[in-house]
Amino acid sequence: MTVQELFDKGGPAMWPLLGLSILSVGTIIERLGFWLGLLMKEREIVDRVLEAASHHNWQVATDMAHQARRQPIGRFLYAPLRRQKPEPEVFRLALEAAAEDELASMRRGDKVLEAVIALSPLLGLLGTVLGLIRSLSNIHLGDLGTASTAGVTIGIGEALICTATGLGVAITTVAFYRVFQALLFNQVRVFRRAGNELELLYRQDWPKFARQEEKYEN
C-alpha cells in the first residue's frame, strides 16, 4: 500500500495528522540537537568553574563562566559571579533566579509535544467515526444479509487506518516527550548540585571579601 493509497483510505482526518506528525518530528529533532549539545559540554564547564573557585581564583572562574554563556549551565554560573563581591544571600538569589530562567527555557517545545499527544488520538478516532458513517450510510435495511453489505467490512477496516495512524503519532511523541522530561529532571539535579557547591565555596571566602571591603572603605 502506497502512502497516497493510505491517505485516500484513511480519509480527510489523515491530513491534519500529517501536519501534527511533521510538527512533532521537527520539535523532536530540534530538542535532540539541543540536549546533545548541552550534555556534551556541561560537565566540563562545571568542573572548570568549580576548580577555579576551589583555588580561590574567582576572577578565573568568572571568566570561564563568561566564555560558556552559550550553554545554560554557563549562564547559570555566571549570573552570581558577574556581580562585584555580592553578599552571600544575594549570591544565592542570583543562582536561584538564573536556574529558574534556564530551566524554563529548557521546556521549550513541551507544549507542542503535549498538543500532538492530545490531538493525534482524537483525530484518529474522528477519522474512524467519519469512515464508519460513510460506510454505513450506504446500507439499507433491505440489503442486510446480502452480498451488497460485503463492502462494509472493507470500509470499516479502512476507517481504522486513521485510528492506527493517530495512535502511532501519539505513541512516538510520548516516548520522546518522556525522554526530554527525564533529561530536564536531571538538569534540576545538576543545577542544584553545581549551585550549592559554588555557593559553599563563595561563603567560605566571603569573610575575606568582607574584610577587604571594610579596609577599602576605611
What distance in Å separates the CA atoms of residue 31 and residue 196, rounded to the nearest whole number?
Answer: 27
The total number of structural domains in the chain stands at 1
Phi, psi of 143 (to 5 degrees): -90, -10
Which domain covers residue 128, as residue numbers?
Answer: 3-217
What pLDDT is recorded for position 23? 96
Phi, psi of 44 (to 5 degrees): -65, -40
What pLDDT is recorded for position 82? 92
What pLDDT is recorded for position 110? 94
What pLDDT is recorded for position 114? 96
Q: Give mean pLDDT in consecutive 10-residue pieces for the chain, a chain of 218 residues.
A: 69 88 96 92 94 93 94 95 90 95 92 95 88 69 52 65 91 97 95 95 86 62
- Considering the entire predicted model, what is its pTM? 0.83
What pLDDT is recorded for position 208? 83
What pLDDT is recorded for position 134? 72
